[in-house]
Structure formats: C-alpha cells, structure tokens
Structure 1
Amino acid sequence: MTRGNQRELARAKNLKKQQELAKGKSKESGASKTKRMERDADIMRQKQQAKQASKEAAASGGGASTSKK
C-alpha cells in the first residue's frame, strides 16, 4: 500500500516540477531570445565593420605593396 502512495506522491511532485519548468521557460525564452538576437546582431555588425576596415586598409596600403613586387 505504501508503494502506491509513493508513486502518487512522485507523480504529483513531477507534475508540479514540469509545470514550473514550462511556466518559467515561456516567460524567459522570449526575453532571452530577444536579448540573444540583439547580441548576435551587434556581433555581426562589429565583424562587418572590421572586415570593411580591413578591406579599405588593404585597398589603400595593399596597392602600394603589390607594385613593389
């Protein structure tokens, strides 16, 4: 008889845990996703700016170095 009671208690505990996880995820996932998307966009912008700067540096300085060869 105690075994059935333990099962019921474990099921109730697990159900409560799953509900709390689902509740917490839905609230945080939107905010986290938005923050992550903004952070990734900023990183990509920085990479693009760095690549553009290196291209401009190579175009201005690289042309003179290739003519010396």
Structure 2
Amino acid sequence: MARGNQRDKAREKNLKEQAGKKGKNTMSGSEQAKAKENAAAIMRAKQAAAEAKKADGK
C-alpha cells in the first residue's frame, strides 16, 4: 500500500461532503407536477390582477 491512509482520508472527506448536502428534490413526479401547476395558477391570478389594474388605470 503505497498510498497509506490517503484513500481513507479521501473517503471520509467525501462522506462529510455528501452528508452536508441537502437533497434538492424529494418529490415524486406527480407531486412535482402538482406543485408546478399550483405555482402556474398563482402566477395566472397575479397576471390577471395586474391586467385588471392596468385596465382600470387607463
């Protein structure tokens, strides 16, 4: 073993990095689609409110 404990140290470092990272996406496909649709509905409502406000101003 010419490398000594270098490999073990690298493994430990990698495990610490992996533990520190948070999971980005824990939703399933259907949950993600539902969340996307909810966000789109909110944006459509905001857009309609902005257009109504703009129409009242003119």
Give the structure-2-normalised TM-score: 0.50
Structure 1 match to 2:6: 3
RMSD: 3.1
Tell me what 1:27 maps to.
27
1:36 aligns with 2:6: no
Higher alpha-carbon Rg:
1
Higher helix share: 1
Percent identity of paired positions between Structure 1 and Structure 2:
10
SS of 1:21 mapped into structure 2: coil
1:48 maps to amino acid: E
- 2:39 maps to a residue whose letter is R
- 5+ residue gaps, structure 2: none
Letter paired with 2:17: N
The count of corresponding residues between Structure 1 and Structure 2 is 51
